[in-house]
């Protein structure tokens, strides 16, 4: 009776806050002007402009170039992309799920190191590992050279797998993308109920049977999400498939844009690629709907671990060491050896200029993206509703869109704006304005904001969600406006979250290749572009200093991810 009275009691206006701490906040939200809602919707519309532009070209009449593509190479683009997705899906599934199960629920030598070290391949962009293994495994590389010297072979006397092939691209992408599956699967295994695992043991199920019959079905939605993320990155890859000579949608878009000079046909290819991406998004959302059957009871107890004995423990060590060695240790070691050997001629004033360009561009993009994420996430906190929620979701879709598609979607409307401004300026003032938007850093920063806003948005929304509404109520009762509440209350509380968001976007921009290749200003290079150019000229050793710099920068967010996943289950820290 008392609880009913308390829940229905509403204090008078200007009186005390409700027992739940959200009465004043609710009235404040109702009184706020629609400027926040309109602003969030406007930002979302601007960020969705590249995607809308690409989709809009589906309705543009196809020209001769599109007919030529359909008759000659479109089937190769579709077939190779599907085979690449299937191969990477299987590879990341095997490497990620197996290692996640071993490090989460088994006890063997080196487990604590493997828990975080298995995430290190995330620091290596796919195109960099492709260049490294090409230098190692090509005919003139040290591996085949050693084989010929040891056995006295010559060309044609032996068979060796071709690294520059569709199979090689599958292997390279699987080695650097399996951490997505590992991350999601391990988090799911750590959050599973102790009761379910103990029941499976009492029924006589051993480690393998418990894995296949209990743990794996419970973690299936999370695993599907990890595989979907890996496949989206596979579709977005350009450097690896271009270097290996594999025809996919991304390489086709570049060839159509720069080789054939047909922006419309390139945009139509990009729209087809977006179709693949949206199918993956729908599959990922479908898998998350099935997550409701996860067990949550006793999740704060220490998970029981299977203590492996005999050959099984060393098999577990080998199973975890295999992807780590091939995905990080070998490439990083080879890059380091090349960098030491070539430092005298590659680490010069041009290299430092490239580094400053890359760092400055990444820092600027991270700051812009963070400010947009703060505006949208705080607007959602103030004015919850279908319009704001939809706008925030639309703005966060860019991370699933390949950089090539976003680059085309940014270039086309900005080029039209530049042409209109130039024509107006010539007509009115007799002066040509040139390129004010397209071909400048503005276009590049805009593309980065579209591509990586979701990274900052997720972090900021998580940080705001941990702040109780009563803090907003207290600040508003002291006369602070919403922007003052954000600046003086929320931002100091979320300092760590904001720094993490900045760092994650910084590293993502540092590694981004296709969007930078398309949109960078004339005579403006970054570490990623320079690495690609040198590798394309077969100067793999000379590309090592720039590549190693990108890899070293990527290790920092990997450490942050490792710390967060280790804290995902309360009480697990003491069990490790």
pLDDT digits (tens, 9 = 90+) for 115-170: 889 989 988 999 999 999 999 998 888 899 998 988 888 887 888 889 999 999 99
- Indicate whether 503 belongs to any domain: yes
pLDDT of amino acid 356: 93
* DSSP at 226: H
Mean pLDDT across the chain: 81
- Indicate whether 306 belongs to any domain: no
Q: What is the pLDDT of residues 486-541, one digit of tens each?
A: 888 888 888 878 888 888 889 889 989 999 988 988 888 999 999 999 998 889 89
**In 508-541, which positions are buried (b, 16+ CB within 10 angstroms) versus exposed (e)?**
bbbbbbbbbbbbbeeebbbbbbbbbebbeeeebb
Q: Give percent above pLDDT 70 in the chain.
A: 83
Cα separation, 303 vs 511, in Å, equals: 37
Q: Is the pLDDT of residue 295 over 50?
A: no
Residues spanned by the domain of 259:
34-294+329-569
pLDDT of amino acid 4: 38
Secondary structure class of 307 (helix, strand, coil): strand
Please give the model's pTM, rounded to 2 decimal places: 0.82
Dihedral sign of CA atoms 228, 230, 233, 239 in order: negative
pLDDT of amino acid 301: 53
- Indicate whether 317 belongs to any domain: no
pLDDT band at 212 (very low <50, low <70, confident <90, very high): low
pLDDT of amino acid 226: 85
pLDDT of amino acid 184: 85
Secondary structure class of 326 (helix, strand, coil): helix
- Indicate whether 322 belongs to any domain: no
**Cβ-contact 55, 271 below 8 angstroms:** yes
When divided into structural domains, the chain yields a total of 1
Mean pLDDT value of segment 554-559: 81
Q: Is the pLDDT of residue 393 over 70?
A: yes
- Indicate whether 310 belongs to any domain: no
Cα separation, 270 vs 274, in Å, equals: 6
Q: Is the pLDDT of residue 294 over 70?
A: no
**In 387-422, which positions are buried (b, 16+ CB within 10 angstroms) versus exposed (e)?**
ebeebbebbbbbbbbbbbbbbbbbbbbbbeebeebb
Residue 306, strand partner residues:
106
Cα separation, 352 vs 92, in Å, equals: 36
φ, ψ for residue 106 (rounded to 5)? -125, 155
- Indicate whether 120 belongs to any domain: yes
Structural tokens at position 539:
């100067």
**Cβ-contact 214, 197 below 8 angstroms:** yes
Q: Which residues are within 8 A (CB) of 481 and not within 5 positions of it... i.e. 6 or more apart?
A: none
Tell me the Ramachandran region of residue 14: left when phi exceeds 0, alpha when psi lies from -120 to 50, beta otherwise: left
Mean pLDDT value of segment 313-323: 93
Tell me the Ramachandran region of residue 51: left when phi exceeds 0, alpha when psi lies from -120 to 50, beta otherwise: alpha
pLDDT of amino acid 193: 47
Q: Is the pLDDT of residue 182 over 80?
A: yes
Secondary structure class of 385 (helix, strand, coil): coil
Integer CA distances (angstroms), 485 to 30, 39, 112, 441, in order: 17, 18, 42, 33
Cα separation, 377 vs 385, in Å, equals: 13
Cα separation, 320 vs 289, in Å, equals: 31
φ, ψ for residue 203 (rounded to 5)? -85, 5
CB atoms within 10 A of CB 488: 11
- Indicate whether 323 belongs to any domain: no
Cα separation, 259 vs 508, in Å, equals: 28
CATH number, residue 543: 1.10.3720.10
User: Measuring CA to CA, which residue among 205, 321, 228 is closest to residue 278?
Assistant: 228
Q: What is the pLDDT of residues 333-364, one digit of tens each?
A: 999 999 999 988 888 888 999 999 999 999 99
Listed ranges 308-317, 318-327, 373-382, 563-572; the one with the highest mean pLDDT: 318-327
Q: Is the pLDDT of residue 219 over 80?
A: no
User: Measuring CA to CA, which residue among 135, 542, 550 is closest to residue 345?
Assistant: 542
- Indicate whether 283 belongs to any domain: yes
User: Measuring CA to CA, which residue among 508, 496, 498 is closest to residue 554?
Assistant: 508
Task: Specify the range with the lowest mean pLDDT, choosing from 232-236, 297-301, 462-466.
Answer: 297-301
């Amino acid at each position: 009776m008392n609880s009913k009275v308390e829940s229905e009691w509403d204090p008078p206006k200007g009186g005390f806050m409700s027992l739940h701490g959200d009465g004043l906040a609710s009235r404040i939200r109702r009184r706020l002007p629609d400027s926040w809602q309109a602003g969030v919707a406007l930002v979302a519309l601007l960020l969705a402009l590249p995607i809308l532009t690409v989709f809009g070209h589906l309705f543009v009449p196809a020209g001769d170039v599109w007919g030529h593509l359909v008759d000659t190479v479109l089937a190769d683009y579709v077939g190779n992309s599907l085979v690449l997705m299937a191969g990477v899906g299987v590879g990341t599934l095997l490497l990620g799920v197996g290692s996640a199960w071993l490090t989460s629920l088994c006890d063997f030598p080196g487990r604590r190191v493997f828990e975080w070290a298995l995430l290190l391949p995330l620091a290596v962009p796919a195109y960099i590992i492709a260049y490294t293994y090409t230098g190692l495994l090509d005919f003139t590389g040290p591996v085949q050279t050693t084989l010929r010297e040891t056995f006295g072979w010559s060309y044609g006397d032996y068979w060796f797998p071709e690294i520059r092939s569709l199979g090689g691209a599958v292997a390279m992408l699987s080695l650097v993308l399996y951490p997505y599956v590992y991350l999601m699967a391990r988090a799911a295994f750590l959050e599973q109920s102790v009761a379910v695992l103990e029941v499976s043991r009492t029924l006589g199920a051993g480690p393998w049977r418990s894995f296949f019959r209990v743990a794996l079905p419970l973690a299936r939605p999370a695993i599907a999400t990890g595989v979907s993320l890996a496949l989206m990155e596979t579709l977005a890859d350009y450097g690896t498939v271009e270097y290996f000579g594999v025809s996919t949608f991304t390489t086709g878009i570049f060839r159509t844009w720069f080789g054939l000079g047909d922006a419309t046909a390139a945009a139509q290819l990009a729209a087809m690629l977006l179709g693949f991406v949206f199918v993956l998004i729908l599959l990922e959302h479908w898998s998350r709907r099935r997550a409701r059957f996860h067990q949550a009871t006793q999740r704060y107890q220490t998970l029981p671990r299977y203590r492996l004995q005999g050959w099984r423990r060393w098999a577990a060590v080998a199973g975890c060491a295999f992807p780590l060695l091939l995905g990080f240790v070998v490439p990083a070691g080879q890059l380091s050896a090349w960098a030491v050997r070539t430092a005298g001629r590659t680490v010069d004033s041009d290299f430092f200029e490239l580094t400053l360009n890359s760092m400055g561009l990444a820092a600027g993009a991270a700051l812009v993206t963070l400010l947009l994420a703060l505006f949208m996430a705080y607007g959602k906190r103030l004015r919850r509703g279908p319009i704001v929620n939809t706008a925030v979701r639309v703005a966060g879709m860019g991370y699933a869109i390949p950089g090539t598609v976003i680059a085309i979607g940014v270039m086309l409307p900005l080029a039209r704006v530049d042409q209109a401004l130039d024509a107006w300026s010539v007509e009115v003032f007799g002066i040509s304005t040139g390129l004010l938007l397209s071909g400048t850093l503005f276009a590049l920063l805009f593309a980065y904001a579209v591509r990586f806003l979701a990274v900052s948005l997720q972090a900021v929304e998580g940080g705001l969600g941990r702040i109780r509404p009563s803090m907003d109520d207290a600040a508003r009762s002291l006369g602070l406006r919403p922007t003052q509440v954000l600046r003086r209350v929320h931002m100091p509380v979320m300092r760590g979250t904001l720094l993490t968001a900045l760092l994650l976007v910084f590293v993502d921009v540092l590694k981004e290749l296709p969007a930078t290749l398309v949109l960078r200003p004339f005579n403006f290079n970054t570490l990623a572009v320079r690495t690609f150019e040198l590798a394309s000229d077969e100067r793999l050793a000379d590309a090592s200093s720039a590549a190693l710099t990108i890899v070293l920068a990527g290790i920092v967010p990997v450490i942050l991810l490792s710390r967060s996943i280790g804290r995902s289950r309360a009480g697990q820290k003491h069990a490790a």
